[in-house]
Amino acid sequence: MKLRNQSIKESLTGYLFISPQMLIFLVFLVYPIFEGIRLSLYQINYTSEKFVGLDNYVTLFNDPIFFKALLNTVVFVVFIVVLTVGFALFVSSAVFDKNAKYVSFIRGSYYVPVMVSMVVMSMVWSFLLNPANGLISYFSQEMNLGTVNLLGKTTTVLPVIIFVTFATNVGQAIILYIAAMVGVPKDLFEAAEVDGANRWHVITKILIPSVSSTTIYIAIINIIAVLKIFVVIQLLTGGGPNNASVTLMYYLYNNAFKYNQLGVASAVGVIMFLITLLLSVPQLRALIKDM
Amino acid sequence: MSHDNSNKKKKMELFDVVTNVVVTLFAIINLFPLYWLITSSLKNSSDVVKMPPDWLPTTITFSNYMDVFQSQPAARWAFNSVLVSGVTTILVIAVGAMAAYAFSKINFKGKNIIFIIFISSLMIPKEIMIVPLFRIIQDFGMVNSYQGMIWPNVATAFGVFLLKGFFDATPNALREASRIDGAGEWRTFLQIMLPIIKPGIGALFILNFVQVWNDYLWQLVIGQEKNMKTLMVGTATLMQDLNPNFAYKMAGATVAAIPMLIIFLLFQKYFTQGMTAGAVKE
């Protein structure tokens, strides 16, 4: 009996310790999810709410800009994640076994753009890409290509945004990979060397497979980060030209805070929520297996 | 055969050297936009658009910075950023450490399932719930208030995730000894366990501070009055500013970036530690 009391007391203490986090969590995270689902079924004006069923979703599926935003988001996710994982693997497998000073220089110089944020980097890039007086336009004139307006053309705007986002954010993946690679047991490499394997074999056959759980983690956090890509769109293109660079998050924001279509915006939010939920399943599985 | 092998080895050494040269070169190119940001902010309005450009500023002027601070409430924005990032982070540490301690050291019913729910929330960006979140804050009367900027950012399981790893690494015997000595759970937590995980708290402080400092979308919708903007949001408004002087815009962006650069230079090791503590299994 005493033992049972003890365990009830222990349980109560546990709940007490998690309760502040739990409360904030319920109010600002769990409740908004359900409220978002509810709002997506309503037509919302300044003062009134009217139940409209799935009308908001029907509106979305009849809006070509929504599909443009969806397609652009998928393109961004695929290209940015592949570039990030590929390039981060290249950089970190080249430097992971070098001396500490050099490694920290590499880590630092790729991470600094992450540090100073997408807002600041977008502002610099907007200056660099400015057709009238940006450095990139200057180089293209020097090479007799005339002034270029990379952000003003529907064909070039996506690659430019992909590049800017990738270059700004790749540092985080590099830090994670280097840390994971430093942790790979040394005797694996020694054994490989005894067997006459060269660096290329070591990298492709031992190193990269050893950090596969980090790869999954990096891929997932990047997919989710790119899914909500917003700042670079707002500051560089405003979704243009002609909606060529509009993304789901930008579309959601415009509907909510520019066109006052809160119901439609909520529907976009619900769709994005389902996508993230689906994407996080493998990561969650891994987590649960670990426990 | 052995000759062939050593030849191969030399080739691979060359391959290693070449890749490292490429990596270093990319690293330097990667830093160039920042170099251009800072040097442009120090040029006067005519030099900044000069063609061919001055790779080094010929005359250095701080007038763009003066402009930013005079024509915009940039000092207020900076204050807002420090306050919001600081208070948010302290709250994240307080509630996160309590929860992490419980998940790590206390046995309670449903602990594993609750922890999984907490952690899965890390995958859901709050941005996609911006409409309901905004309406909740509106109902609380917290639009254009610090509270409205702070609370939704405290609702992250990141602190729990990170600090649990640090608590897991402390010996259970320590907690038991403290309990046998008659200390209550709360005292054990505050006086014995918290001081041990100081490095974890340091890492969490820096990572979370930077994250909130760089937060954009939420602060954009919640701080609508000019004086209630954070530095990131305020700086971004310079892009729509009618002032065509790019040096002035770059000065604003530099003001937003410099504190983060300094934090990074001072605490580099915490970043690596904090980011990998949660993500990289050894």
**In chain A, % of residues over pLDDT 90:** 66
With contacts defined as CB-CB under 8 Å, which chain B residues touch A20? 94-95, 98-99
Across A105-119, A241-255, B20-34, B239-253, least confident range: B239-253
**ipTM score assigned to the predicted complex:** 0.91
Task: Find the residue in A nearest to B134 (Cα).
Answer: A32
| Secondary structure of residue B182 in the 3-state scheme | coil
How far away is chain B from the Cα of A271, in angstroms, using its nearest Cα?
9
Report B:93-112 residues touching A (Cβ under 8 A).
94-96, 98-99, 101-103, 106-109, 111-112
Contact flag B136-A32 (C-beta cutoff 8 Å): yes
Q: Name the residue in chain A with its Cα closest to that of B8.
A: A198
Confidence of residue B1 (pLDDT cuts 50, 70, 90): very low
Interface size A-B, in CB pairs within 8 Å, comes to: 296
Q: Which tens digits make up the pLDDT trace of B17-45?
A: 999 999 999 999 999 999 999 999 999 88
**Which residues on chain A are in Cβ contact (under 8 Å) with B113?**
none
Does the pLDDT of residue A287 top 90, yes or no?
no
Q: Tokens standing for B113?
A: 């399932």
Please report residues of A whose CB lies closer than 8 A to that of B53.
135, 138
Q: How many residues does chain B have?
A: 282
**Cβ within 8 Å, pair A249-B127:** yes
Chain B residue with CA closest to A275: the answer is B124
Chain A residues with CB inside 8 Å of B52's CB?
138, 142
Contact check, Cβ <8 Å, A33/B272: no
- Using CA atoms, how far residue B189 sits from A114, B95, B196, B197, B207, in Å, is 35, 13, 10, 11, 23
Q: Does B14 touch chain A (CB under 8 A)?
A: no
Burial (CB < 10 A; 0-12, 13-18, 19+), residue A62, is exposed
Is the bond preceding residue A282 a cis peptide, omega within 30 degrees? no
Are B27 and A106 in contact (CB < 8 Å)?
Answer: yes
- Which residues 37-76 in chain B show a CB within 8 A of chain A? 37, 40, 48-49, 51-53
The CA distance from A102 to A99, in Å, is: 6
Q: Across the interface, do A121 and B33 touch by the CB < 8 Å criterion?
A: yes
Per-residue confidence (pLDDT) for residue B282, from 0 to 100: 39
Does A197 have pLDDT greater than 70?
A: yes
Question: Closest Cα of chain A to B124: distance in Å?
Answer: 6
pLDDT in tens, A177-189: 999 998 888 888 8
